[in-house]
């Protein structure tokens, strides 16, 4: 967790939308943060802070908001960018992993040639909740031989346990804001 001033500043730029996508859920919308140049830059700077000065070969971003943040982070650390996409979106030979959702399962993919074994990768997305997609992404990256240096997210929903789930896989996690509940 970062210092209270950063958390309060960034928290003020996140829009909370009650009962979306279903009743009882509060959707944390970072598009308002992305539209605020100062907040967006600060978030990108802070996301990579734990790995400053380390050699990072690639940033992997999870569809879709992870593409926005991940592209900016990759630029900041002079690394390549690798998209992790939902099934059926990548045109070339790909590697995939299936993971469980609350009701059913889903699948994410990466191009088979997106990484070279041994490359050092940081995973980026906007929010970590239960951690199912992020855990699947880590497994996918490791399947291609990547060394996953860490994972970073603007928002953590700690009550849902996703960050702990990644730490249990040996992946350091950086989050900037946390919200209680779902």
Residues designated as active site: 65, 102
Mapping DSSP to helix (H, G, I), strand (E, B) and coil, where does residue 163 land?
helix
**CA separation for the pair 55, 53 (Å, rounded):** 7
Q: Which residues, listed in sequence order, are joined to residue 148 by a DSSP beta bridge? A: 121
Q: Where are the beta strands (DSSP E) in the chain?
A: 15-18, 26-29, 58-62, 80-86, 94-101, 104-111, 120-128, 147-156, 173-178
Radius of gyration of the chain (CA): 16
Is the distance from CB of 144 to CB of 112 less than 8 angstroms? yes
């Amino acid at each position: 967790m970062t210092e209270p001033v950063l958390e309060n500043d960034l928290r003020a730029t996140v829009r909370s939308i009650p009962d979306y996508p279903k009743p009882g859920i509060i959707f944390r919308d970072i598009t308002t943060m992305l539209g605020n140049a100062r907040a967006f830059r600060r978030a990108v700077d802070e996301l990579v802070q734990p790995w400053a000065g380390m050699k990072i070969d690639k940033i992997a971003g999870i569809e879709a908001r992870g593409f926005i943040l991940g592209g900016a982070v990759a630029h900041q650390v002079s690394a390549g960018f690798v998209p992790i996409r939902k099934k059926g979106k990548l045109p070339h030979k790909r590697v995939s992993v299936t993971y469980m959702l609350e009701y059913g399962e889903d699948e994410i993919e990466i191009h088979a040639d997106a990484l070279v074994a041994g490359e050092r990768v940081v995973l980026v997305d906007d929010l970590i909740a239960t951690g199912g997609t992020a855990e699947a992404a880590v497994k996918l990256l490791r399947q291609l031989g990547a060394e996953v240096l860490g994972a970073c997210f603007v928002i953590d929903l700690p009550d849902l346990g996703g960050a702990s789930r990644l730490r249990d896989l040996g992946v350091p996690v950086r989050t900037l804001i946390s919200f209680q509940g779902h």
